[in-house]
Amino acid sequence: MSITLDRPETDLASNAITDWLRKFEAALTAGNSAAASALFVEDGFWRDLIAFTWNIATQEGSGEIAKMLDATLPGIQPHHWRLAEPAEAADGIISGWITFETAAGRGFGHLRLRDGLAWTLLTTLTELKGFEEKRGPTREPGAAHGVERDRKSWLERRQAEAAELGVTTQPYVLIVGGGQGGLGLGARLRRLGVPTIIADKHPRPGDQWRSRYKSLCLHDPVWYDHMPYLPFPDHWPVFSPKDKIGDWLEMYAKVMELNCWNSTTCDHAEWDEAAKEWVVQLTRDGKPVTLRPKQLVLATGMSAIPNLPKYPGAETFQGEQHHSSAHPGGDAYRGKKCVVIGSNNSAHDICADLWEHGAEVTMVQRSSTHIARSDTLMELALGGLYSEAAVAAGITTDKADLIFASIPFRIMHEFQIPVYAEMKRRDADLYERLEKAGFMLDFGDDGSGLFMKYLRRGSGYYIDVGASELIANGSVKLKSRVDVTEIRPHSVLLSDGTELPADLIVYATGYGSMNGWAAKLISQEVADKVGKCWGLGSATTKDPGPWEGELRNMWKPTNQEALWFHGGNLHQSRHYSRYLALQLKARMEGIETPVYGLAEVHHTS
């Protein structure tokens, strides 16, 4: 393989990657796991997204790598390792994009060399041989030229499919939840030819967003939030208003020809071991329906089962009280006394919304919160991968996703700590004024900030888009270092004896683990069998050990056959839906998918 390069240092970097790949392929072809693992530094990492393990798994250290190869090489048969484009060298690390093949498919990956050996290797399966998506030169012609008696139009064929699926034919996959996660996964399965129904309780796609309080906007920037196949146009706002997202999702479902069953609730599901399929009872437009999918995906999102604290006296409250997920907006609360219990994203957003509508607002902060100013976060933490500058530098959304995925979770906090140290220095004035107001701040247990908090526990932070200033200047009152001890008919009693008059109480108290949906839909036994979703086992606050190495149960096989979890933010839903869709397609086509490293269950909730 010859590469013409302009820069000698790039040429040397490319040669180093190519030479490593040659040695690596020789070892793999010989079935010599020890020789292959010896090409890694002692503390090296190999993160695999279903290419070798049919799992999402990270091997840490040469011993784990050798053990994985011993188990997988005979079936995977990896070969044809190549450098995809010129490599780069910086700070003693050589990095490059690579391609490879296996018996089942084609892959793409990323390699970092340190002192000539692999420090991090990412391998991802991108397509299955013989079952490639139709795109570009293989796209459908659309029109069938010529003449044909009783020809069916595209619309007639589409209407017939929608009328038959779930009635005279069964879906191979049932996705429960038609938000961005369910729709994105549904689009990938559609492109792969997997018969799929997406069931959602809302009347229209996008209603999950439309039903939230009117001031809600995405806190992540547009470059981070694209859906599979259809990126937002280049005039789309940086931070999308919730109704705009709702309309986009409705358009997406229609344009991608997804079989959405809206106004549909999933009432109960049970695994039929003999038939190897699920029996799912649904109510569609008020009528009972039974489906028998082979695979069941819970795409209800991380914000699925609200955590509602049971405070003494709550039933006696004479005002209005609701969870943040049910907050309609501040219009009706002008002049009212409002107490918001919680101090993370939703709590801040709702406090700002109520204040803007003329309410008297008090936030009750029970534990410390990480605050990251949006502008600073965009520049320091996201700008290198997800920004207009990144796009101009040739970093596509797919590449950005893969670069982020190439950093093993075990060492990711080391990359994050300097970012948040700089954030703390840059925004010191805001933090000082917040603390003076009594706000309890933190930057994570180890100073690694927002992303690690999100991955470890999915909570404990606020991306500041304005509400922090309201707290710092006293516009929104604050009671911190307290808990709620009792709800009285017209007030909230706190642990320090303070009594807050209240016409409205908003419980911005977060959500439970996604396996709570499994308990609700299937059984507690199955939920416990699967175990807790999300978190890394980092032994930090709200993320108990032992170390897992990957997010628990997400986008990969679980301990309940044919049950899958799909969720996360728009970036994660977009990226990992590819691998979940390929796992489902492989099973539908009868491709052998022996799972290596199925995670043990250490926590049930």
Q: What is the DSSP string of 290-307?
A: EE--SEEEE---SS-SB-
User: Can you tell me the mean pLDDT for 196-215?
Assistant: 93
Query: Model confidence at 107, in pLDDT bands (50, 70, 90)?
Result: very high
Q: Same structural domain for residues 425 and 318?
A: yes
Q: Same structural domain for residues 328 and 238?
A: no
Give dist(CA 416, CA 455) in Å, integer. Answer: 12
Q: Same structural domain for residues 471 and 570?
A: no
The CATH number of residue 551's host domain is 3.50.50.60
- CA distance to 321, 327, 328, 330, 350, per residue, from 324 (Å): 10, 5, 9, 12, 8
Residue 314 near residue 290, CB atoms below 8 Å: no
Among 77-81, 331-335, 410-414, 515-519, the least confident range: 515-519
Query: Model confidence at 260, in pLDDT bands (50, 70, 90)?
Result: very high
| Residue 501 token pair | 């008059």
Q: Write out pLDDT tens, residues 482-514.
A: 999 999 999 999 999 999 999 999 999 999 888
User: Can you tell me the mean pLDDT for 162-168?
Assistant: 96
Residue 239 has pLDDT above 70, yes or no: yes
Give dist(CA 437, CA 435) in Å, integer. Answer: 5
Cα–Cα nearest to 471, from 342, 368, 361: 361
| Residue 6 token pair | 């302009």
Q: Write out pLDDT tens, residues 435-456.
A: 999 999 999 999 999 999 999 9
Model confidence, pTM: 0.95
Burial 315-331 (b: 16+ CB within 10 A, else e): eebebebebbbebebbe
Residue 144 has pLDDT above 70, yes or no: yes
Residue 348 lies in a domain: yes
Q: Same structural domain for residues 334 and 448?
A: yes
Among 2-16, 47-61, 245-259, the least confident range: 2-16
Residue 143 lies in a domain: no
Q: Same structural domain for residues 231 and 291?
A: yes
| Residue 543 token pair | 């993320």
Number of domains in the chain: 3
Task: Please spell the DSSP secondary structure of 268-287, one letter per residue.
Answer: EEEEETTTTEEEEEEEETTE
Cα–Cα nearest to 473, from 439, 428, 443, 440: 439
Residue 135 has pLDDT above 70, yes or no: yes
Give dist(CA 150, CA 311) in Å, integer. Answer: 67
Q: Same structural domain for residues 23 and 117?
A: yes
**DSSP three-state, residue 72:** helix
pLDDT of residue 201: 96
* E strand or H helix at 405: helix 397-405
Cα–Cα nearest to 340, from 234, 219, 492: 492
Q: Same structural domain for residues 337 and 458?
A: yes
User: Can you tell me the mean pLDDT for 558-585?
Assistant: 97
Phi, psi of 96 (to 5 degrees): -160, 155
Using the 3D structure, point to which of 440, 473, 507 is the last residue of a domain: 507
More confident residue, 7 or 25: 25
Residue 498 lies in a domain: yes
Q: Same structural domain for residues 298 and 320?
A: no
Cα–Cα nearest to 453, from 536, 348, 382, 570: 536
Q: Same structural domain for residues 263 and 163?
A: yes
Residue 13 has pLDDT above 70, yes or no: yes
Residue 565 lies in a domain: yes
Query: Radius of gyration (Cα) for the chain, nearest Å?
Result: 26
Residue 147 lies in a domain: no
Determine the structural domain holding residue 471 and report its residue range. 314-507
Residue 382 has pLDDT above 60, yes or no: yes
Residue 10 has pLDDT above 90, yes or no: no
Cis peptide before 141 (omega within 30 of 0): no
Q: Same structural domain for residues 403 and 521?
A: no
Query: Model confidence at 213, in pLDDT bands (50, 70, 90)?
Result: confident
Query: Model confidence at 303, in pLDDT bands (50, 70, 90)?
Result: low
* E strand or H helix at 417: helix 409-426
Using the 3D structure, point to which of 486, 507, 528 is the last residue of a domain: 507
Residue 373 lies in a domain: yes
Residue 171 near residue 197, CB atoms below 8 Å: yes
Q: Same structural domain for residues 291 and 194?
A: yes
Residue 167 lies in a domain: yes
Work out the mean pLDDT of the chain and round it to a whole number: 95
Give dist(CA 47, CA 56) in Å, integer. Answer: 8
Degrees to nearest 5, angle at CA 384 with 381 and 388: 115
Query: Model confidence at 5, in pLDDT bands (50, 70, 90)?
Result: very low
Query: Model confidence at 215, in pLDDT bands (50, 70, 90)?
Result: confident
Residue 268 near residue 521, CB atoms below 8 Å: yes
Find where tokens 């005002």 sit: 319
Burial 492-511 (b: 16+ CB within 10 A, else e): bbbeeeeebebbbbbbbbbb
pLDDT of residue 263: 98
| Residue 19 token pair | 């030479």
Query: Model confidence at 3, in pLDDT bands (50, 70, 90)?
Result: very low
Cα–Cα nearest to 37, from 46, 49, 50: 46
Residue 207 lies in a domain: yes
Cα–Cα nearest to 324, from 343, 337, 311, 310: 343
Strand-pair category, 320-323 with 504-507: parallel
Q: Same structural domain for residues 358 and 257?
A: no
Give dist(CA 561, CA 577) in Å, integer. Answer: 19
The CATH number of residue 26's host domain is 3.10.450.50
What is the DSSP secondary structure assignment for residue 596, as one 8-state letter? S
| Residue 301 token pair | 């999102």
pLDDT of residue 593: 98
pLDDT of residue 7: 57
Query: Model confidence at 1, in pLDDT bands (50, 70, 90)?
Result: very low
